[in-house]
A and B are shown apart, each in its own frame.
Chain A
Amino acid sequence: MSRLYERLSTAVLEGDAEKSPKLVQRALDNGLGPKEILDNGLVPGMNEVGVRFKRGDMFVPEVLMSADAMKEGLELLRPYLAAAGAKLIGKIVMGTVKGDLHDIGKNLVGMMCEGAGFEVINLGFNVEPEKFVEAIKEHQPDIVGMSALLTTTMRSMGYAIKAIEEAGLRDQVKIMIGGAPVDAPFADRIGADGYGSNGPAGADLAKQFVGA
């Protein structure tokens, strides 16, 4: 195992977004495979971030710095992964549902998912059910993420899921939901596949969905 993998993990853990692409480049120059660089360098670093955050040893701004370092490294790696036929971890479409203008939590989940190696298509806020349907058709994601902050708008998630079902797309995607008033029983009730309680938990759930 190359020492470079370890240094790359450390760069991600320390949130050094300048160093991580440089180390990715050096690994490529040394002839290491792009998939190996991802699996042995970037991903273990981000996994450790998740562990430390959960333990209370890292805070959100630090986790975001790590996510940035991961993203910068991955950006550089992406064409090589594509050329090698290696699949990225997955694709997510996400949005805050109709009637709700709050999106810092959803954006946080998006950043965490990007940091975990997903491609994220962010539909913004006040997203109509039909827009989720169109986005699934257009982007062919593995996962759809929905969010709401208000008790008055959380029901919109159920409507969006119904619209996806009626369009015959429900089996193509896993659906995860989040937001302050939401919990796991609610996710069950409206027919979502899972619930994440915060940004890192959302990214964890997404990883479980794609088996990463």
Chain B
Amino acid sequence: MLSDDQLQELFDGVLHVLEYTGLEVQHKKARKILKKAGAWVDGDRVRIPAYLVKDALAKAPRSFTIFARDGNPENDIHIGPGRAHFGPGPTPPNFIDIETLERRPYVRSDSEIVATVCDALPNIDFCESLGTISDVHDELAASYEFATMFPKTSKPIVAWSFGKDDAEDIHKIAIAEAGGQDAFEKRPNYVHYCEPLSPLVSTVEALDKLIFCAKHRVPVIFTPCPLAGGTAPITAAGIITQAAAESWMGLVIAQTLRPGLPFFMGGVLSVMDMSAMILAYGAPELSLMMAGHTELAHFAGLPLWQTGGCTDSKTLDEQAALEGSLSVYFSALSGGDLCHDVGYTESGMTGSILQTVMMDEAIGYSRRITRGIEVTEETLAVDVIHDVGPNGHYLREQHTRDHYKTEFWYPNLCDRRNFEEWQEMGSTTMRDRVIARTHDIMATHQPTPIKPETEQAIEAVLAAAEERVKE
């Protein structure tokens, strides 16, 4: 999409912002780390010379693996050029109940549903909660969320936390399953999510978490959420430049503390709708800006935390299908490394696993297209064409039998039956089939269980956490 010249201009723009404008770094220890590394610290304001940023970029890996907790290689995530992965997003306050289909506050049992369904969906690669648990102590929502999801999926979880304490809760559970801290460092089984503030602020909480991750070698995402026209420039190039500067502040700290730490450049870039005053999750600008952001990340040698499969619709309808599918498709084309928010509705206010289930189909569809056309002697099939000749057919050919399973994508939810058969099967709509599939997964899917010692670790962690918040 962007030319090399354009990418170079964006890259230089980010370096300029970091060196001449700088960011407010609210974390005292982080300022100390940065100063020692060679940054210019003036009160809270930290400016980073370009060479330091380039140094950090050189240390950060472009390719690495996040491992499935149960050792199932099919659920490992290999980050690297040309590989797009998909999963839900964190923290909306509401959830669409899968039985009543009503919008209501997100509760603990929803984490179990989200993890189970993500574990079963073939095109969902990682798991995130789609909500903030409302029926436990306020400060323990993230700890309970991870503790609830971890046993229900062996796909890597992207965890979030309020701060250091619950980040530690989560880590204790993960390393129990991995077999200790050393084993975890070799085969990390989750990713942690940190969110700085736009414009240009690195908050105490975000940096607490980042420093925790660097210390324990937890792969980390550092992702601001700027609004074009509100908390960032209104232009696509401007918001990309600012968001990259915000994310790379985290990069410099992380790579200074722990060279080689797997780091995802982040930024959910979208528009502040100037009439509805919301962050639009279904806007074409989101897909466009995210594609540009992805290209800049790859130009700089970093994997990106992409966004797609989300919608501003309040329900599972045509708008949700349209906005979700187009953003998933564009995200797949851009090859953004971890694409999140698959299942966000109502501009991020409500999580919907039904949307995730519908988007699983759109991701499969998109992946068939991005897989492209393979051209080899075998696929050219000149000899098969010769053998069949005029007026023949290919249905019985070995060539057909060898390739029909891999050459075609077969839908799970889209209906291709003829009218009579469709009618016979109950004249269902896409919405009906999404709901039925979700219920079917919940009734039948069995995730790989966690180890007994991890079960004990979860109990101990939650008991200690409850004690902590009593005080």
Interface residues, chain A, with chain B CB atoms under 8 Å away: 59-61, 64-65, 68, 104, 107-108, 111, 183-184, 197-198
Check A61–B400 contact: CB distance below 8 A. yes
Residue of B nearest to A67 (CB): B396
Is B420 an interface residue when CB atoms closer than 8 A count as contact?
yes
Within the assembled complex, what's the spacing in Å between the Cα atoms of A208 and B396?
26
Within the assembled complex, what's the spacing in Å between the Cα atoms of A68 and B410?
24
Given contacts A59-B404, A65-B401, whether A108 and B395 have CB atoms under 8 Å apart is yes
Within the assembled complex, what's the spacing in Å between the Cα atoms of A60 and B405?
11
How would you classify the secondary structure of chain A's contact residues: helix, strand, loop or mixed? Answer: helix
Contacts of B395 in A (CB 8 A): 60-61, 64, 104, 108, 111
Contacts of A59 in B (CB 8 A): 404-405, 410
Given contacts A104-B393, A107-B393, A108-B395, whether A61 and B401 have CB atoms under 8 Å apart is yes
Residue of B nearest to A60 (CB): B395
Contacts of B3 in A (CB 8 A): none
Check A197–B418 contact: CB distance below 8 A. yes
Is B421 an interface residue when CB atoms closer than 8 A count as contact?
yes
Shortest distance from the beta carbon of B418 to any chain A beta carbon, whole Å = 5
How would you classify the secondary structure of chain B's contact residues: helix, strand, loop or mixed? Answer: helix
Check B420–A197 contact: CB distance below 8 A. yes
Given contacts A64-B395, A104-B393, whether A198 and B418 have CB atoms under 8 Å apart is yes
Contacts of B410 in A (CB 8 A): 59
Within the assembled complex, what's the spacing in Å between the Cα atoms of A107 and B410?
24
Within the assembled complex, what's the spacing in Å between the Cα atoms of A197 and B418?
8
Contacts of A61 in B (CB 8 A): 395-396, 400-401, 404
The 3 A-B pairs at the shortest CB distance, nearest first, are namely A104-B393, A197-B418, A61-B401
Shortest distance from the beta carbon of B428 to any chain A beta carbon, whole Å = 14
Contacts of B419 in A (CB 8 A): 183
Check B420–A184 contact: CB distance below 8 A. yes
Within the assembled complex, what's the spacing in Å between the Cα atoms of A111 and B393?
12
Within the assembled complex, what's the spacing in Å between the Cα atoms of A183 and B420?
9
Residue of A nearest to B421 (CB): A197
Shortest distance from the beta carbon of A176 to any chain B beta carbon, whole Å = 15
Shortest distance from the beta carbon of B423 to any chain A beta carbon, whole Å = 11
B residues 362-404 with Cβ under 8 Å of A?
393, 395-396, 400-401, 404
Within the assembled complex, what's the spacing in Å between the Cα atoms of A183 and B405?
30
Residue of A nearest to B416 (CB): A56
Within the assembled complex, what's the spacing in Å between the Cα atoms of A108 and B404?
17
Contacts of B418 in A (CB 8 A): 197-198
Shortest distance from the beta carbon of B403 to any chain A beta carbon, whole Å = 9
Contacts of A183 in B (CB 8 A): 419-420
Within the assembled complex, what's the spacing in Å between the Cα atoms of A108 and B400?
15
Within the assembled complex, what's the spacing in Å between the Cα atoms of A68 and B395?
12
Contacts of A68 in B (CB 8 A): 396
